[in-house]
Structure 1
Amino acid sequence: MVTNTFSIEPYGEKAYHTGIAVPVFSLRTENSSGVGQFSDLKKLADFTYRSGMDVIQLLPINDTTTFMDWRDSYPYRAISVFALHPLYLDIHEFWKSYTKEQQAKLLILESELNSLEKIDYERCLALKWEYAQIIYQNSAVKYQKTKAYQQFYKQNEEWLKAYACFSYLRDINKSANFLAWGKNVNYDKNLFDKLKKETSQLDLYIFVQYLLHSQLTEAVDYCHKLGIALKGDIAIGIAHDSVDAWTHPELFHLDKQAGAPPDVFAVNGQNWGFPTYNWEKMAEDGYDWWKKRLTAMSNYFDAYRLDHILGFFRIWQMPENSVRGLLGQFSPALALSAEEIENNYGIPFRQWGIERFIIPFIKDWVIDEVFGRDNRDWIIQTFLDYIGTGNYRFKAEFNNQKAIENTQMENWVREGLYKLQENVIFLKDDENSEKYHPRIGLLSTISFREFGDDYKGRLERLYNDYFYGRNYDFWKEKAYEKLPALKNATKMLACGEDLGMVPDNVPDVMYHLDILRLIIERMPADERFVSSLSEVPYLSVVTTSSHDTSPLRAWWEENHDLTQRYYNEVMGWYGEAPNYASVEIIQEIIKRNLNSNAMMVILPIQDWLAMSEHFRKENAKSEQINIPADSYHYWNYRLHCNLEALIENQEWTDFLKSFIKESKRAY
């Protein structure tokens, strides 16, 4: 029976929820135009409902148009935290308004794009804009007179005008870098009226946003009528070249970059290229920008995933000239003074010369180790200057990673030069040049190996104190300054992404604020080789995989020793573990997840389909959505089967419904 009401509150009438996670762009239906669209969510809702699930989780859906090519497929680099992505517009809704020639052309292009295994982002977006302009020419005047359009415009006027101006200037300048826009480098609230006299293009951008809003709202209403909740995703950052940075530069550190320290996803850390937040400035008006962002999101979503919740405790911050993530530092953080380094840890910081610790340690034998002896002379002549006593420094034109990235060279040379630049022990604090942070991973640097055992021990003690103790209470305090205001801004259920290098107090803060944790069995938060699903707290979201990991089947094939241990010790099955994860193995793993005490179990659609011989894709590795270590990854994964095929296969949906019903989270 279809119901119009449902609860997604902790400890509510319905205690446990089950869901499916899939990006909008990955959806495939008979009416798709080479990429998923908002209207496809209705078909996804039908499948979700028939399968006995009640939550749909999506990736960010905001406009990301920066480079105007495939690089904009990255959904976490939004140019506006309010504007929806034109890629998700269903142009079929206006079929009757097209000429026969336009209809014929659309069918041909859609046939070509839908025949592809993956998304052709550039062609799909070009197609959407081509037909969006036709729709605008045919229907804009009619829509603009409606009460619904006028209400939408009035409620969102501030960001709509700024977004329209930004989009227009980006397109005519062929660049989203507003610092290169001459007289328009700074946003002026009167700019919209000025540009409106020059072009009607501004109305097109606003009109498309209205259509997207209408189609998404219709899909949300459809989900709710089926008792299905929608869970969105709030990216931790914004694009440097974005509407928000252009209109409110004071809220961001535009000369810094956010990312993540090294982890299992990326051994060199991650550099997302986002500016970091000026939290002190944001606090002055009670985090109004964040509250508006969350309020806008609550128009469509019942719950949200707070991407990289650690960023609200501290963010990994890098200089604007960094490429990799190893030269970052936590911000805010309690940096060390020279006196503390010397007096508390017995390290002769100034006596040996501060430069020994903060300048890349480069000697002949270091160059040999990184590049090989045969390449030493060429590396020195091309990139380094000799400074005496056997030491080298980078030439001025190569003294940062951006300079190296922008110079044509073979990749092995570039990677080696990055490694040399990262061969330091301490980094200067971004705010106070007389204070210092230990470089993340310094214990594995070549520079560290040069110290004697006694000083290695002292540096290791300093390192552990800094990263695992010194900032413990400080970061907790910073989280409590921000998170309550954000969480209380709406009634949406807050869920945090707390994977990675997590201080012990993060789960405690989340628990006290009723923010759900994220648990992935194969990514334990302690020294165990997997998390114990029997110990999962109720205020959690449990999943088998994420967009940043390999799907379950591909994970099984990555490390046979690990899966052998999992097969015997966790699953309790005897004998040699198969090299490939059978349907029975996947079903057993998912069953264990469903029987956890987590409030929500939301699995990627790839892992649900892996329980079926008929619907699982042949190449499991091709189903991974993102590779975090690759900052230029193409986000073009698309379902290999139509949603209609899933819906119409009653045997399959009945199986899923029964499978879930047999667990503790019965529908």
Structure 2
Amino acid sequence: MEEDFTIQPYGPHPHHTGIAVPIFALRSKNSSGIGQFSDLKLLADFAHKSDMDVLQLLPINDTITFMDWRDSYPYRAISVFALHPIYLDIHAFLDDYTKLQQTALLEEEEQLNALQQIDYERVLAFKWKYAKLIYDKQATKLKATADYQNFYNKRKDWLLPYACFSYLRDKNKSAEFSSWGTYANYTEDIFEKLSQDKKVADILDLHIFVQYLLHTQLKEAVDYCHSLGVAIKGDIAIGIAHDSVDAWVNPDLFNLDMQAGAPPDVFAVNGQNWGFPTYNWEEMAKDDYAWWKHRMTAMSEYFDAYRLDHILGFFRIWEMPAGSVRGLLGQFSPAIAMSAEEIENNYGIPFRQWSPERFTKPFIKDWVIDEVLGRDNRDYIIQRFLDYVGGGNYQFKPDFDTQRKVEAAGLEDWMRDGLYTLHENVIFVKDRKNEYLYHPRITLMTNTSFREFGNEYKERIERLYNDYFYGRNYDFWKERAYEKLPAIKHATNMLACGEDLGMVPNNVPDVMYRLEILRLIIERMPSDDSFVNGLQYAPYLSVVTTSSHDTSNIRAWWQEDRAVTQRYYNEIMGWYGEAPWEATPEIVQEIIKRHLNSDAMIVALPIQDWLGMSPDLRFADPHQEQINIPAEAFHYWRYRLHLNLEDLNNNTGFTNFLSQFVQDSKRSV
């Protein structure tokens, strides 16, 4: 990376414009059914012609865990250092293949590129097939170069464990390293032991070699972007895969018996369970967060800026026990839990008098079963899943006493989800470190256990709930953030941006401002009770966007709620009369124009929304352009741009339109 290429606040060009698009979504004539690192050069050409100077990506690390389409999820990395092999440009080595291999490659590429969406499993198998051919042809020559040796020596602290992990995962057909017998626990001599077998040594060498190819292709693309004055903004995921190289090598840095996620929000009413282990911050602090610093330094080779995914996790993380499937039984960690004495003395709730079990065990009675699962199903539910414990109360049988056990039973969706709801029918969850301390269950006022209390006690519980979630921990969390974020931010010169959506404590914006970490502002997702985020109030230290990979694009959002659309059309856009049923190109242009004229340092819009301004280039069905659906635990991330980048670059009418559109705003570069 060019040492003098930076993107910083209050620089020579204070306002920047960008395109947000995952690499996997890119489409070019020489791609192999998925976007690849080399496609960034074509995207940079398009951005440059359109007077834009930032390309915003999703995570690019290796995610191969399940060895199927579920690995399309880019936020579950098996290594925070290794790049994903699926982004390798195998077409670039066309001359190295035999005529027969060339013909087969071109035929397969033609079929894969004709698909509207990504066939993840087929593409990955195809890439590996040709990666092995490249290795056979090129490895001996390239490994002798100084460039390869520098790459290897500088990174072997993670390359060797990564190669071992990848080999053992494939050999055992599982990334669950606890099941690997002799190799369940990582030791520094594992690479040497495995390498004693020549065939295994070659496989290990292949994984390292592919990482070198990925590095060189990405570095070449980044350097090309810089030559055009285009910056790369990466994405640093909050979590890692439970079964990952990092957890295998450094288990003490993670709480492997816990799961990270998010409390309920507009994306997921039952909360989100990402399945990641949570960080053992106390252990990480002992060496001043060396693992994080190493991670950031590695990514700074490619990125000029980064989006710190779920920055709230550096204040506190939503943490669930291993037995949870959904997010409602979580608790913030760290957090100041409540004692029985505090619950009783400060809020007048007879916690011990009525027994802690009344508040912490699932509240299950006949009428609750009827309401959740249906009266006609009550007898069957009791017989199969519950034991009677007296007083009209039931508890789960041992075989079903966690949500994970229910999940494993292979039940119909309605029954499984109903049993999950019964598990969640509690008022408090026990603190994970001290079973005699308690946290109110998130959104507890919506469950049937809460409804059983009289109005007086409902008011007391609700007061406790509001005190706990809206103020009690704010200063405590602020202190925790100031312990971690400065060390991580100052590890590199990259511009730091944070994804601060969700249940945001009111002091988070202040911390981010003081540390010069840019906030994320999506107009339709206000941070308070306002109808929308007022773009005219967007602070300079922010990234403003119309949509994200977790939301619908402008055109699909326009059709989601007619009342919201009408109000937005009249009040926010200031246009009169009845709102059209479709977001016409003129409407999309007006919305984007208002974003570009905000004072935010960066406006980075999804490529779907940029194309939505054109009547000729927009995709026919905007609802098919959403990249992720957060409420789905296993969503297939397979969105792909419907246009080739070469065709976009050659469409001078559109690039000229975009260039003029940007120049007419305060963002002209």
TM-score (norm 1): 0.99
Contact map agreement 2:324 2:402 (CA 8 A) in 1:
yes
Task: Report the equivalent of 1:186.
Answer: 185
CA distance in 1, matches of 2:531, 2:434: 40
- Determine the C-alpha separation between the residues in 1 that align with 2:3 and 2:311: 32
Instruction: Tell me if the contact between 1:7 and 1:13 (Cα under 8 Å) persists in the aligned partners.
Output: no
Pick one of 473, 476, 480 that aligns with 2:482.
Answer: 480
Q: Work out the CA distance in 1 between the residues paired with 2:387 and 2:23.
A: 52
Measure, in 2, the Cα distance between the counterparts of 1:571 and 1:436.
Answer: 47
Structure 2 stretches of 5 or more lacking a match? none
Report the counterpart of residue 19 of structure 2 in structure 1. Answer: 20
Q: How does 1:35-50 map to 2 (within 5 A)?
A: 35-50=34-49
SS at match of 1:316: strand
Counterpart for residue 208 of structure 1:
210
Spell out, residue by residue over 1:228-262, the C-alpha distance to the aligned partner (whole angstroms, 9 max, x if none). Answer: 00000000000000000000000000000000000
Q: CA deviation at 1:372?
A: 1.3
Q: What's the counterpart of residue 51 of structure 1?
A: 50
Aligned to 2:564: 562
Please list the CA deviations of residues 41-89 of structure 1 after superposition, one character each: whole Å capped at 9, or x if unmatched.
0000000000000000000000000011000000000000000000000
Q: 1:351 aligns with which of 348, 353, 356?
A: 353
Q: Is the 8 A contact 2:6 2:304 kept in 1?
A: no
Of 6-15 and 641-650, the range deviating more from structure 2: 6-15
One-letter code aligned to 2:125: A
2:365 aligns with: 363
Distance in 2 between residues matched to 1:360 and 1:321, nearest whole Å: 14
Deviation of residue 4 (structure 1)?
A: 10
1:578 Cα offset (Å): 1.0
- Please say if residues 237 and 274 of structure 1, whose CA atoms lie closer than 8 Å, have aligned partners that are also in contact: yes
Q: Whole-Å Cα distance in 2 between the matches of residues 254 and 146 of structure 1?
A: 40
Contact 1:78–1:239 under 8 Å retained in 2? yes
Distance 1:206 1:334 in 2: 45
Cα displacement (A) at 1:665: 1.0
2:228 alignment partner, one of 223, 226, 229 = 226
Any idea what SS the aligned residue of 1:602 has?
strand
Greater Cα shift, 108-117 or 244-253:
108-117
Per-residue displacement from partner, 1:82-108 (whole Å, max 9, x unpaired)? 000000000011110100110011111
Task: Let me know the Cα RMSD of the aligned residues.
Answer: 0.8
Amino acid of the structure 2 residue aligned with 1:619 = D
**2:575 alignment partner, one of 573, 576, 585:** 573
Alpha-carbon distance in 2 for matches of 1:454, 1:508: 37
- Structure 1 gap segments, 5+ residues each: none
Aligned equivalent of 2:448: 446
The SS at the match of 1:179 is helix
Determine the C-alpha separation between the residues in 2 that align with 1:57 and 1:135.
30
Q: Report 1:469-508 matches (<5 A).
A: 469-508=471-510
Q: Is 2:438 the counterpart of 1:436?
A: yes
User: Which residue in 2 is equivalent to 1:599?
Assistant: 601
Residue 497 of structure 1, CA deviation:
0.1
Q: Is the Cα contact below 8 Å between 1:178 and 1:184 reproduced in 2?
A: yes
| Residue identity opposite 2:633 in structure 1 | S
Alpha-carbon distance in 1 for matches of 2:512, 2:189: 42
Secondary structure of 1:66's counterpart equals coil
The one-letter amino acid paired with 1:366 is V
Deviations 1:629-660 (A, max 9, x none): 00110000000010111100101000000001
Distance 1:30 1:422 in 2: 50
Which residue of the partner structure matches residue 463 of structure 1? 465
Give 1:539's match in structure 2, choosing from 538, 541, 544. 541
Alpha-carbon distance in 1 for matches of 2:46, 2:4: 19
Which residue of 633, 641, 645 corresponds with 2:647? Answer: 645
- 1:138-537 alignment runs, 5 A limit: 138-198=137-197, 199=200, 200-537=202-539
The residue number in structure 2 matching 1:612 is 614
Aligned partners of 1:447 and 1:480: how far apart in 2? 38
**How many aligned positions are there?**
665
CA contact (8 A) 2:6 2:494 kept: no
Distance 1:446 1:50 in 2: 58
Residues 360 and 426 of structure 2 are in contact (CA less than 8 Å); yes or no, is this contact kept in structure 1?
A: yes
Question: Is the aligned partner of 1:120 residue 2:119?
Answer: yes
Counterparts of 2:29 and 2:351 in 1: how far apart (Å)? 67
Distance 1:193 1:364 in 2: 62
1:108 paired residue number: 107
Q: Are 1:563 and 1:577, in contact at CA under 8 Å, matched by a contact in 2? A: yes
**Aligned-partner Cα distance in 2 for 1:5–1:168:** 39
Report the secondary structure of 1:558's partner residue: coil
Q: In the alignment, what sits opposite 2:592?
A: 590
SS across alignment from 1:557: coil
Q: CA deviation at 1:391?
A: 0.5
Between the aligned partners of 1:532 and 1:172, the Cα distance in structure 2 is 54
- 1:517-546 deviation digits (Å, cap 9, x = unpaired): 000000000001101000010000000000
Would the aligned equivalents of 2:478 and 2:511 in 1 still touch at CA under 8 Å?
A: yes
CA distance in structure 2 between the partners assigned to 1:222 and 1:606 by the alignment: 24
Bigger drift between 530-539 and 192-201 goes to 192-201
Distance 1:470 1:595 in 2: 38
**Runs of 4+ displaced beyond 3 Å:** 3-7
Counterpart-to-counterpart distance in 1, 2:613 and 2:237: 30
Q: 1:19: how far off?
A: 0.2
> How far has the Cα of 1:474 moved from its partner?
0.2
Deviation at 1:193, TM superposition (A): 1.0
| Alpha-carbon distance in 1 for matches of 2:562, 2:7 | 39
Q: More deviation in 269-278 or 194-203?
A: 194-203
TM-score, normalising length: structure 2: 0.99
Q: Deviations over 1:557-593 (max 9, x none)?
A: 1001001000000000011111110000000000000
| Cα deviation code 1:585-606 (max 9, x no counterpart) | 0000000000000000000000
Instruction: Report the AA paired with residue 421 of structure 1.
Output: H
Counterpart of 1:92 in structure 2 is 91
Q: The residue matched to 2:559 in structure 1 has which SS?
A: helix
Cα deviations across residues 332-384 of structure 1 (Å, max 9, x unaligned)? Answer: 00000000000000000000111000000011110110111111111111111
The answer to whether the 8 Å contact 1:4/1:226 transfers is no
| Range moving further from structure 2, 71-80 or 370-379 | 370-379
